[in-house]
Structure 1
């Protein structure tokens, strides 16, 4: 997130990291990177540097799903899947997440490198590298299975929620009006989504480990080689879950995806985003840069 979290300070994050991962914390810096989680760079006096992530829970995650995702990523790395930048277990518990305020804290080693450009990330050689490394890996025990984000009641419940004013922040009414204006489209998208989800669920035996968001922003390349970061969405799913950006770039001929599954995960993303933004703007907010970015994100998905 671009803005620091209002509910926790750097000192509390440093204390949690020291208690569970890095005893001699000497420096902490907030990183206004990405959108959806909060990040810090934490360094020890001896030179060890960690990348620290605070994932929020509802509506996308629970403490259990986050732990399962990060534990699954660590298991993939231990099995030799080199593209995984694996989270580190806490000293005290061996778990990969620690509850902090309304979220879950996790850490990985700091990677010196750069993110791929969109063009590089969509290159044929790169696509084959990610495909071979991740989608052909044996699923680790306990890996979470993908499930639909919404059910048949979603459109009706959202219609009822948007029938009343959202007055908990300065952008609430704009968001509510935008969602309400797309009521019929949301109902249509939901019906098609559930139809395609049933098809995907009937083919569970073909599912593979998927990252969920393997776009260029979640890739680091450098002396470490190619690494995928941000494993909070790891799940066993149809391989097309990872293909959205690649299909747009014309990689479909190489990947030979199932068009129905491509459509499913385009809708999965859109409806998941609408769920999150509805939760965001119906709740208290103050009009920060992140709030304005979220409102534009909502409009983009509705378009």
Structure 2
């Protein structure tokens, strides 16, 4: 995020890092990504760390509400740690998992008050991309090999099942229905309401299509595997010829298509995954998770725009993303 978090400053982060044995001599805010807050920290031993602060009130994919989100985030970080420690998939061993460092008490993530949670990662220099960026055929092939390897792993006991249902369906339905009176909260509240009004029929149609796909896919009873959840270019890091997967807060058990729709661009990519994994991708499941992504985004955007907000760079980015997503859904 470009904006810095409310109620947490550099001194609070510096103090929290002591739980990892990190006495940060240099701590700098890193305005990267979208959703979490980040710093880089250098300690007296010359080691560099990448620090992530998660807002539990805005982590619906981990659980609705701060306490449920905390439990889900902790299970996700523990899963990444087990993939590193149990399965040898950590980048330190030549693998693709960039997992969180443990505190002195063995925690993969630590809660800071009621609202936030902190996790710490080794800093790895490399090249990453952005969501929506086009991968070359070679990069897609490499990513599909990574996913096939992940999907073949024996699931850790701690790993959550991620159901295909929308994480906040009731809230989304309520926001879509509450367009008969003005919205307040900030500069994008009324424009968001007007956008929903203009595209109401299209949005409702896509929700109905989602429900039909969900029933269809559930009826096939496909086996669940460990999925990353968001293997888009923004969560890929290319380091010394290797590919690492970042941001494991979305990890969970689901059908492979939860990952594949974000990577595969056509029949050749799907055939390559089938050869690697021994499983033919399901077109209905690919469509389900593509649609689920957009509907989850609409819910998150409306939640922000109906809450108190100001005109910040992050909210402007959210507004542009909201418009693009709604137009795509209602087309």
- TM-score scaled to structure 1, two decimals? 0.91
Q: 8 Å contact 2:77–2:100 — kept in the other structure?
A: yes
Structural RMSD (CA): 2.2
Structure 1 residue 151: Cα displacement: 7.2
Segments of structure 2 that go 5 or more residues without pairing to the other structure are 63-68, 90-94, 274-279
2:35 and 2:242 mapped to 1: Cα distance? 26
Q: How many residues are matched?
A: 301
In structure 1, the partner of 2:118 is 105
**Runs in 1 of length 4+ with deviation above 6 angstroms?**
none
Secondary structure, counterpart of 1:166 in structure 2: coil
| C-alpha separation in 1, matches of 2:32 and 2:223 | 35
Unaligned runs of 5+ in 1: none
CA deviation vs aligned residue, 1:82-128 (integer Å, no higher than 9, x gap): 21101112223x22221224221111111022226742476354034
* Map of 2:4 onto structure 1: 4
CA distance in 2 between counterparts of 1:169 and 1:127 reads: 40
Query: Are the equivalent residues in 2 in contact too, given 1:51–1:107 (CA < 8 A)?
Result: yes
Q: How does 1:43-192 map to 2 (within 5 A)?
A: 43-59=42-58, 60=60, 61=62, 62-78=69-85, 79-81=87-89, 82-92=95-105, 94-101=106-113, 102-115=115-128, 118-120=134-136, 123-147=139-163, 148-150=165-167, 153=170, 156-192=173-209
TM-score (norm 2): 0.84
SS class of match (2:264): helix
> By how many angstroms is 1:7 displaced?
3.0
Deviations 1:149-186 (A, max 9, x none): 25775664223333332221111111122123222222
What are the Cα deviations for residues 183-209 of structure 1, in whole angstroms up to 9, with x where unaligned? 222222222222322344445551111
Q: Does 1:272 align with 2:272?
A: no
